[in-house]
Every structure is written in C-alpha cells, then in structure tokens.
Structure 1
C-alpha cells in the first residue's frame, strides 16, 4: 500500500459527510466556501490525499482502491460508521470506489465535476501538466490549471494584474503531491462500478467546465441506478461563490432525503 497516514480535517456535529477533494486540491481549496455552513449540522471528515495538506507524499503511484479504503479508515477513526461522500473532480471517482467497496457504510453520494474515466480533454490536460512539471515549468502549470478551472466570464472580468496575482496564488497553493494526483487521474476507471452502486446519488454538472467535460458528469449520472442529475449553467470546474451557493442549496435538499445514519 502506497497510502500513508492522512492529514484529516474534522469539524461539526451531526450525520457524517466524508469529503473527497480533487487532484492538486485540498479540503479548504475545494470545500472552503461551504465548510462552515455544512458543519452547522453535519460532522465533516476531510482527509487530504498523499502529498496534500499535511499528508506525507506517497512512496509510489497512488492506487484508487488503497486511497478509497484509507478514506474509509479515517472516517471510522473519527468515530463515523456511516456517511455520505461528497466527491469533487478526482474525488468523484474516489467516492464511487468507496461506495463500491464499502456499500454498507455509504448513505449517499454527491459527485461534482466528476468523471468515471478521464475524458479526452482531461487526459490531455494531465499529460500537459506532467510534461510542464517534468521540465520544471511550474509557473506554466499554475497558469494552465488556473485558466482551465475558471469560467470565461470570471476570466474576462479579471485585469492582467489580477490574473497574474491569481496565478501566483495558484502556484503557491499547489501541493507536493499534485503530479501523483494527476497520474491517478490519468489511470482512473470506475465505469464498471457504476451499475452496482446502491446508494442514492446526486450528480452535479458544471456546464462551463473546461477541464472535465460536462459529458463526463452525464456519463456518471447515466451509469448509476436512480442517480439525480442537476446542471449548474455556465459554472466552471472550480465553483465561484454564486455557483457554490446554488450547489449548496441542491446538496442540502439531497442530504435531507437520505436515510438516517446508522448508530
């Protein structure tokens, strides 16, 4: 197993939500706009993948099964025997594999900007990020990921100075395990898991996503029995404050429909 002990954020009280972040991201980076709200009435368990947050880097390529099992281990260690899983981007594939391997623990799934396997745009992005990083061109990695994750409207509203400052923040926030995460992105394939999932699922498709095509979310929703699909019109891969508020509204409505947590 190449998954070390993970750095875990635990907040709040109530039914548990296990948070699965995206590649090159983290709990605050992906969920920061809604952590306070969700923690009012849920226990949030947010493990950082190897090489993110305070988690040490893996000693070899990440394995999806290992990562899924370690996420569950961390939730149980935090006192949560069952939970809903909120997955973003790569975290959606992690969430699907958690539900496939531990169906007795998963009360529901929320899959945002997700994919069952890397679509052509995402696969190309992962290759480009690796090639730029291998050449030591980390500023270009930051610029590419920043431009890929925001909407055209948000980018058009930014001045050149604002854009440069945002790229610098992106560069500063990139975790040491980013390349390991994107290597896993390029290898993930949970298509065979989808049809056997039994947990209720909400799939959220940002229609303006330029890193993970919205069609990838549509494939998730089509493959999971009974999954509910909602679209966030024009939303980018990283949700801005307005789109995240809409997301929160839909997610809360979905969470209210889930069966009670097991004791």
Structure 2
C-alpha cells in the first residue's frame, strides 16, 4: 500500500454528515464546493463526506510545481485519514474521476465503490490539446470565457437560456480563474488511466454527459467499458450535470448511495 504520509500541508476540505465515508474529488480548476455543492445535502444525509480542495483551488493555497495524479490521489486519501475514515466510497468529477480511479488502484483496500461523473480516461489528443489551449487563454479572459461557453455547457442548455441569463453566464465566466487553473489543466492534458481500469475491483457507476464537449462522451464510455461490471448512465447535458441536469444526477447519486449498490 502506498504511504499517504506526505511532505505537503493538509488540504482544505469540507466535512459534513455522518455514517460510512465518502471521499470526493473535484474537477480541474473547480473546487469541492463549486463542483459538489448542489449535491452535498443529499450526500451528507447518507455519508460522512470529506471533500478536499486541490492546491490552488477553493480554500487550499497555491503550491508551485507540477502535481501528479498519484500525488492528488494520495493527498485525498491522507485527508480521509485525517478525518478518521478507514474505508470509503469515492466520487470523482471530470479530472477527479481519474483521481478516483487512481485512488482505487493505489489504495484498493480502502475503497468500497466508485462514482465517476463526466470523467476523464485519457488517450484523447483532442482533449489534451483543448486543455492546453485553455491554459494558454488564462490571461485572455474574454476569449477563455467564449471557449468555455462552447465546450463546458451543453448546446441545448445554452440555446434555451434567455438573453439576460446568457449575459449573466458570460459575465460569470469572465471571472478570474483559481491559481491552480494552469497546473490542473496541464495535469488533465497528460492524464491517462486507461491501462489501470481493468484492475478496479469495486462496484462502479459511470455517469456520462451526452453533450459534453470538454471531456467528450467517448471518454466517459471508456471508463465504463474498462472497469469490470461498471454501470453506465448517460444524462442529456454538457460537462456540468450538477448545473444542467441536477434532478437526474441526484437520482443517480441517491441510487449509488443505497446500501448494497
């Protein structure tokens, strides 16, 4: 078992609820509250939720250098250790899905099950190029906002927005990105967990997003196809099902949390 002892400072985290443990991994340039916030009440009603922020996201301070997937996996498990969790389910969103897979393969004795939402598997030249492009546009916020509008959100959802809501969304996307934005998107560009999927030996639910143009549905399906016995559910949305398809996502999550699921 890899050691979770680390030279790094503990990660900031959200801790809520009671019962069996649930460890959450957020997406690149997201945060625990930003990515999982709409679902936290449901999750905390059934689990002791530990939701860390990666360095440079949420309440965790920026750290120089280039993080690795192993590092993120071990630091999240260290956060679970610090909160007294001996074993846990793991839910990962986007880049966090790859982190969740790596937790399951580096710490298999700790993980009970996986929930992977709009997840990154790796091996896509297009996705890697897109991640690198977003890093290059960080200092050109208007252009980055336009790109995010077209690839992060599903076209059906965006096209249905009233003009005032669309203007508000554009303004929100122009907000400064977190300090960890470049590190986390560069990590997404080089992440590849395909070779380890077959060794995942716990029940897994994979949630795809049919209109996802950031991490395309083919990536979600790779996760489901590679993990033995994985259940696959596809939602009619873009990369942010917690925004675009929250009721449907909640139903999947509550089913995942049922005893024996």
TM-score after normalising by structure 2: 0.91
Separation of aligned partners in 2, 1:37 and 1:173: 30
Matching residue of 1:166: 169
How much has 1:5 moved relative to structure 2? 2.6
CA contact (8 A) 1:149 1:237 kept: yes
SS at match of 1:33: helix
Matching residue of 1:186: 189
Give a deviation string over 1:22-54, Cα, whole Å, max 9, x none: 001111211121111211121111000110011
Residue from 59, 62, 65 that aligns with 1:57: 62
Residue from 233, 238, 241 that aligns with 1:239: 241
Unaligned 5+ segments in structure 1 are none
Separation of aligned partners in 2, 1:225 and 1:41: 26
Separation of aligned partners in 2, 1:130 and 1:2: 27
Matching residue of 2:146: 143
- Classify 1:3/1:154 alpha carbon distance in 2 versus 1 (closer, same or farther; 3 Å): farther
CA contact (8 A) 1:82 1:107 kept: yes
Q: Does residue 228 of structure 1 match 2:250?
A: no
Give a deviation string over 1:168-227, Cα, whole Å, max 9, x none: 223326211111110100111111211111111001111111111111111111111111
Separation of aligned partners in 1, 2:31 and 2:99: 14
Query: How many corresponding residue pairs?
Result: 256
CA contact (8 A) 1:67 1:94 kept: yes
How much has 1:120 moved relative to structure 2? 3.5
Residue from 56, 60, 66 that aligns with 2:71: 66
Residue from 112, 115, 124 that aligns with 2:120: 115
SS at match of 2:156: helix
Separation of aligned partners in 1, 2:145 and 2:182: 12
SS at match of 1:18: strand
- Classify 1:227/1:65 alpha carbon distance in 2 versus 1 (closer, same or farther; 3 Å): same
CA contact (8 A) 1:25 1:52 kept: yes
Q: Which runs of 4+ in 1 moved over 6 A?
A: none
RMSD: 1.9
Q: Does residue 214 of structure 1 match 2:217?
A: yes
Q: Does residue 203 of structure 1 match 2:206?
A: yes
Q: Does residue 12 of structure 1 match 2:14?
A: no
